[in-house]
Structure 1
């Protein structure tokens, strides 16, 4: 064997060893990243379940509050009907007696209604009429919507990590095939493709939120 041939063979052997070392490092790193993405996907999935449960609980509470508000409004309507009848009959004493039984919330709206010259059809149309429980029901409904939106966001984050596991599986494929390829340039090409895909995945992992 000539000196040039020996040097070329030595150089080729060194390049092959370098490729093997890089491949091992890539396989190890990708395995760790794949496990991490799987862990994060599982954590975000659990977070999503908790948030969906919380949203459902708050939604049920808001429905209960809205039902109580409707019950209070029904009572206000019944008492107001008695006041209308007393007023229509000209019995002012009875009308005063009935109006004294208005709930505090309806009494405010009733006073505003009279102050405005009874322009609206009834005190129930006054903006100031807010039966007990209605504001709380609206607040609970908004909270439930926020929790539901947060659950959807957690679900999306879990899906993102799941997609990354597929991406890193592609890296494992490229690197593993590069080790089996006997053509030097093809092996380096596949290894380079794996490194490129892994780099994209690492950048994405760095930008994703972490749940511990």
Structure 2
């Protein structure tokens, strides 16, 4: 069979700035640059949401059925996390909603176990078996107060999860993201079109695993 083709997803918005603001309030900070920074942050947040939840390429919907399983008893236990890790080689990151991380911490406390901590760019995060557990509030919580925990192996060389984006874009501002000047209208509003292109591919089934029906408790 031919390899699967991935169409890049697009998150896009228009940034409007009045020329008066750009002219008068550029010291000490460039107002257009500051507004653009906020706009880019919003688009990157949207990208993170889609990478988790998108039907076409999001991790929750595209993890292989053989790599999904429920918790043993509801709350996320060390045994559940061990199974999540041992079902794949070279697991690198665990992603969970902050409430799921708190629930895991409570289960560890009940057993007198203390999760590791891991340095991520100068910040200490909880870890299990030396695999960092990273908070992700884009993982949804159901009406019954359950969520999911995702484990991934990344990188093409590892046959893992890889992010997809254009190699280069006209007017590129950051990788996969460009900013195009649209002009100034009759009301003296400057407009910029900000576009973010992205997708993700799971190269082999065991690159991503999902622990399902994770009860969050209080």
Larger Rg: 1
What is the TM-score of this pair, normalised by structure 1? 0.25
What is the TM-score of this pair, normalised by structure 2? 0.24
